[in-house]
Amino acid sequence: MKIRLFEEADRPFLRTLFLAARRHNWTWLEGDDWQLEDFDAVILGETVLVAEIDGHRAGFAGVLDNDNFLHSLYIDPDYQGQGVGSALLEAVQQRFTSTGALKCLMQNEQALAFYAHHGWQREATGEGEQGKYVLMHFPLTARASGK
């Protein structure tokens, strides 16, 4: 598996991946209004890392480097459970210069368990346009301890 920076040639495929992953994983939300172009708005101003397996784009992560904030992590449904998310998350965590943060929808129990498994800690809850979320932090000490 290779983790690399986003290239413009990735955009069409990652748009499709983003839409497919949301529809596959966010089953409790009505996704009729979702469009391929939603990807463009989500990654605006972010550093995007792309995971490739044998030349196939298997997932991506969007991070706001200045804020140490993981904004998005999406895996192609065909590649879920194969370590792609873990590899992307590790690459993101290596970019952090202080405590990392993310928001995860409360109903996304699989993702919450994934982040907890990787050393992320629940800090607070809130509500956004897609529902209730959990604010999670990743302390640099977790990175140093191998979590």
What's residue 112's pLDDT?
94
Query: Strands 100-105 and 69-75: what pairing?
Result: parallel
Residue 4 has pLDDT above 80, yes or no: yes
Q: Which domains does the chain have, with CATH numbers?
A: 2-143 (3.40.630.30)
What's the pLDDT tens digit per position in 37-84? 788 888 889 999 999 999 999 999 999 999 999 999 988 888 988 999
Asked if residues 114 and 73 have their Cβ atoms less than 8 Å apart, the reply is: no
Task: Say whether pTM exceeds 0.95.
Answer: no
What's the pLDDT tens digit per position in 8-37? 999 999 998 888 777 766 666 575 676 777
Residue 128 has pLDDT above 90, yes or no: no
